[in-house]
Amino acid sequence: MTQPESRTQTQSTENAAKTPGPRFVVKQLRVDRAAVFIDGGYLDKLLREDFPGTHIDYRKLLGELSRGGREVFRANYYTALSYQSNPPTLDEEDRREAQVGFLSCLRRIPGFRVCLGKLERRDTREGFEYRQKRVDVMLAIDVARLAMNGQVSELILFAGDSDFVPLLDLARELGIKVRLFHSKDPRHCHRDLYEAADARTPIDGAFLEKVRLERRNHESWARPVLPGNARGSSLRESA
């Protein structure tokens, strides 16, 4: 004869069921569907310092990331427009024109989206520096939105900032694989971010050879311009 549950056990079960707690409502994940998130300032600086003269063909990049049957659902490129004085100098106008041309061509690639933050200039003892604002926050919001909606099964991130670690932890908690494309130079990739990823691919000569922009195809858009590449300046990111 089966013994009834004790009143204490029943109350304990009911109380546990009523205990409030965080709940994530996540739709079913799309298999083999990835989204790409590129920190433009990070990638441009990496290429300039480690592989001078090398430019990426972003159509080739998407093709390379689509290998193995993976569908690249979306690719987001995050940056800020270059600084301009009031009135702007000729050098600032040329820099802005080249950058706008590059971003316009990115927008014409199917599935590519350009996300612009804000640039601030601050004086320092050495001269001045530029700070990108809102870029990290926009990237984090976009990743979280796709992850929560179950639109992708994999996130591909080109970045090196440890500020993205909580974001990677959230994605992995939701069952989404995170692949990090990073510099082999420890100065350009924080160890915490490296360890938080499920898979890692170094941005090295072998990888860049597959996505390199051929010289005959060079256009103004092939030369992304860092907002803070003037003399006496540096570029930093902040939320």
Asked if the structure places residue 55 within a domain, the reply is yes
Number of domains in the chain: 1
Assigned domain for 6 exists: no
The CATH number linked to 96 is 3.40.50.1010
In a domain, 16, yes or no: no
Is residue 210, in this structure, part of any structural domain at all?
yes
Residue type for position 94: D
Give the per-residue pLDDT at 1. Answer: 53
pLDDT computed for residue 3 by the predictor: 52
DSSP 3-state of 114:
strand
For residues 57-70, one letter each, b for 16 or more C-beta atoms within 10 angstroms of the residue's C-beta and e for the rest, the string is: bbbebbeebeeeeb
Task: Tell me if 19 is assigned to some domain.
Answer: no
Tokens of 115: 């996300």
Structure tokens at 82: 């270059």
Six-digit token string for 236: 């930093």
User: Could you give phi then psi for residue 132, rounded to 5 degrees?
Assistant: -80, 130
Instruction: Confirm whether 158 is domain-assigned.
Output: yes
Q: Are strands 154-158 and 33-39 parallel, antiparallel or unpaired?
A: parallel
pLDDT score, position 31: 66
- Phi and psi dihedrals of 98, rounded to 5? -65, -40
Closest among 73, 36, 61 to 224, alpha carbons compared? 61
pLDDT given at position 215: 67
d(CA 33, CA 25): 19
Residue-by-residue pLDDT tens, the chain, 239 positions:
555 544 444 444 444 444 444 444 445 555 688 999 999 989 998 999 999 999 999 999 999 999 888 899 899 999 988 887 788 889 889 989 999 999 999 999 999 999 998 877 767 777 766 677 778 889 989 988 888 888 899 999 999 989 899 999 999 898 899 999 999 887 788 999 999 999 999 999 999 999 999 865 544 344 454 454 443 333 444 43
What was the pLDDT predicted at 69?
81
The residue type found at 198 is D
Quote the domain boundaries for residue 48.
27-237
**Residue 9 lies inside a defined structural domain of this protein:** no
Q: Is residue 97 part of a domain?
A: yes
